[in-house]
């Protein structure tokens, strides 16, 4: 029997036996997405975690995603398929910086991109993802907005909301910022008919070239609903699996060789199997931090609805 087939079969058996569901982000390998019960962008996964009845979640994504699931569902076991899969951007701001800005701008709302640690969420007023940042900030009564940690998503949101005063931070995603404008232009020369679809973590000079800007799910929906047949994709390569599954007749091209998140790619079928066998490692959070971090995440779920 094929090794992968055996691993997949064992995963299916253990899932049932242990009352577990598998959540996966679009950036993990296609074969991991294939065995997952739910696949989505970071908003979908956070929201889905609150509605599934199973007692255990096996999370195929980076730490902040598993933490969000645990923050919202303390009664569930949340197990990371790979405990070392972590998003560097989540660590690009410290709580001291939030305190400084709060002192300087006492009326500011601290708007926290979910790509952040539980400690940072605990100090924030509301969380956002790339799919809802503009909508949520627009609804806030505050004029001053301290947007953390991603500089590019913050600047993109600020451009759409001129009525707000944004204070930015300098966090970034090394995967998206390594997509360069020149590469996009070159790819467009090779495929002049292609539409350019970009994630808002890309730099402003790449976003200027985009025909559509959105989260991973929004990029997928846009490409699926579009009458066009050829697309240049400015986000992590894992999304190609679902793009091709949903659109077998369409062509999707990357624009460079660096559209690869090494943390997401740590997660393999074998890691999922091991997590199910060991029923660990579980996401562990300090209870005080968890309770504080729950408020901005719940506020996001309310405001995004």
Residues that bind ligand SF4 (CB under 6 A): 62, 87-89, 115, 173-175, 201, 236, 261, 263-264
The nearest distance, CB 64 to ligand SF4, in angstroms, is 8
Answer for the pair 276, 22: CB distance below 8 angstroms, yes or no.
no
Show the tokens assigned to 110. Answer: 């601290």
First to last CA, the chain: 46
- Secondary structure of 119-173 in HEC code, one letter for each residue: HHHHCCCEEECCCCHHHHHHHCCCCEEEEECEHHHHHHHHHHCCCCEEEECCECC
**Contact between 63 and ligand 13P per CB under 6 A:** no
| 179 contact choice in ligand SF4, ligand 13P, none (CB below 5 to 8 Å, kind-dependent) | none
Q: Does 242 bind ligand 13P (CB under 6 A)?
A: no
Choose which of 216, 254, 259, 271 interacts with ligand 13P (CB under 6 A).
216
Among 41, 67, 123, 242, binds ligand 13P (CB under 6 A): 41
Closest CB 279 distance from ligand 13P, rounded Å: 26
278: exposed, middle or buried (Cβ count in 10 Å: 0-12, 13-18, 19+): exposed
- The Cα-based distances of 262 to 121, 132, 163, 265, 269 in angstroms read 24, 26, 38, 5, 16
CB of 47 or CB of 123, closer to ligand 13P: 47
Choose from ligand SF4, ligand 13P, none: what does 88 bind? Cβ within 5-8 Å by kind. ligand SF4
Phi, psi dihedrals of residue 273, rounded to the nearest 5° = -60, -45
Q: Does 150 bind ligand 13P (CB under 6 A)?
A: no
CB-wise, 200 or 271, nearer to ligand 13P?
Answer: 200
Q: Does 115 engage in binding with ligand 13P (CB under 6 A)? A: yes
Out of ligand SF4, ligand 13P, none, which partner does residue 42 contact, by CB within 5 to 8 A per kind? Answer: ligand 13P
Please list every residue from 165 through 204 that binds ligand 13P, using CB under 6 A. 173, 199, 201
Using the rule CB under 6 A, which residue among 15, 29, 39, 42 binds ligand 13P?
42
Contact residues for 188 (Cβ-Cβ < 8 A; gap 6+):
194, 196, 209, 232
Q: Token digits for 125?
A: 């007023």
**By the 8 A CB rule, do 71 and 294 touch?**
yes
**Binding stretches for ligand 13P (CB under 6 A):** 41-43, 115, 129-131, 173, 199, 201, 215-216
């Amino acid at each position: 029997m094929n090794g992968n087939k055996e691993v997949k079969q064992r995963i299916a058996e253990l899932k049932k036996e242990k009352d577990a569901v598998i959540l996966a982000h679009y950036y993990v390998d296609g074969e991991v997405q294939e065995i997952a019960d739910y696949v989505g962008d970071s908003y979908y996964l956070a929201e889905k975690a609150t509605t599934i009845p199973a007692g255990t979640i096996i999370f195929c994504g980076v730490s902040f995603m598993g933490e969000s699931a645990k923050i919202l569902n303390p009664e569930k076991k949340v197990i990371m398929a790979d405990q070392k899969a972590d998003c560097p951007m989540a660590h690009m701001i410290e709580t001291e910086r939030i305190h400084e800005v709060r002192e300087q701008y006492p009326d500011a709302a601290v708007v926290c991109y979910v790509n952040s640690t539980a400690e940072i969420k605990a100090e924030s007023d509301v969380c956002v993802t790339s799919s809802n940042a503009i909508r949520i900030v627009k609804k806030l009564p505050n004029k001053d907005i301290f947007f953390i940690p991603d500089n590019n998503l913050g600047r993109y949101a600020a451009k759409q909301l001129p009525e707000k005063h944004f204070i930015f931070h300098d966090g970034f995603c090394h995967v998206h910022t390594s997509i360069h404008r020149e590469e996009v232009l070159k790819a467009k020369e090779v495929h002049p008919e292609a539409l350019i679809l970009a994630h808002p973590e890309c730099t402003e000079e790449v976003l200027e070239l985009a025909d559509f800007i959105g989260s991973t799910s929004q990029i997928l929906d846009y490409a699926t609903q579009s009458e066009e047949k050829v697309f240049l994709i400015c986000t992590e390569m894992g999304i190609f699996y679902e793009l091709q599954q949903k659109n077998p007749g369409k062509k999707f091209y990357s624009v460079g060789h660096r559209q690869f998140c090494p943390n997401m790619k740590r997660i393999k079928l074998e890691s999922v199997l091991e997590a199910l066998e060991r029923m660990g490692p579980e996401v562990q959070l300090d209870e005080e931090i968890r309770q504080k971090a729950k408020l901005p995440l719940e506020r996001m779920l309310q405001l995004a609805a």
